[in-house]
Amino acid sequence: MIHTIDEQAIALAGVFQAAALVHQIAQTSRYDKPILEASINSLFVTNPETTESVYGGVEGIRLGLETLQQVLLKDPGQKNIEIIRYSLSLIHLESKLRKKPEMLNIISTRIHQASGQADHFSLLHENVIHNLASLYMDTISTFNLRVQVTGKPEYLKISHNAALIRATLLTGIRAAILWRQTGGRRWNLLLKRKSIEASVKQLLSESSTD
């Protein structure tokens, strides 16, 4: 099945959105609530009609698109260096996860359970976030490679922030899976950079006119 550059750009933006949210939480103990909700909800969208519907539309992936645009324009800021590191780690972790079908089944089953919990409470309810964080710890965190999150110690030691970070990293894995499903590969970041950059610019333009 042939996928478009727009689909790949949205999925890749999902990875960068997760990374940007993790950076926000680790550095400021704050986050963009509607954007985090869109990312958490993406875990529960298993049969999307379109790639952008995974995030409830382009607006739900705006932070990721904006961050990806900055990275593609080679913004050298320290913030983006860390976000790039998180994003590449998530993509690499997805490649490891793909070789573990049993772990994928566990993740799928427990996300289904968490979906019911989110319906009962809310997407960002403490029970839902801690459930997803526990899932991340039990699965993705068992790999030798881990996403090393840097931030302010006073924020990182808050248990709910740690849970938010792990749950958000799980959304990054989901986005990395989506990126691969839409034809994305690591070498695309080099060979298709201009095409992805143009797609991101167009998607942001369409979003701002909605």
Per-residue confidence (pLDDT) for residue 209, from 0 to 100 = 60
Give the residue among 202, 165, 143 at the shortest CA–CA distance from 31: 165
> Cβ of 209: how many Cβ atoms within 10 Å?
6
Please check whether residue 16 is in contact with residue 68, taking contact to mean a CB–CB distance below 8 angstroms: yes
Per-residue confidence (pLDDT) for residue 198, from 0 to 100 = 94
> Any idea what the CATH number is for the domain that residue 60 is in?
1.10.3890.10
57 Cβ neighbours under 8 A, 6+ residues apart: none
Give the residue among 206, 140, 172 at the shortest CA–CA distance from 39: 172
Question: What does the alpha-carbon distance between residue 121 and residue 209 come to, in Å, rounded to a whole number?
Answer: 33
Domain that holds residue 180: 5-209
Per-residue confidence (pLDDT) for residue 102, from 0 to 100 = 96
What is the mean pLDDT of each successive set of 10 residues along the chain, which is 210 residues long? Answer: 86 97 97 97 94 95 95 78 94 96 96 95 96 98 94 96 98 96 80 89 82
Tell the residue number behind the tokens 């970041």, with chain if given: 189
Decide: residue 208, CB within 10 A, 0-12 exposed, 13-18 middle, 19+ buried: exposed
Number of domains making up the chain: 1
Please check whether residue 52 is in contact with residue 38, taking contact to mean a CB–CB distance below 8 angstroms: no
pTM: 0.95
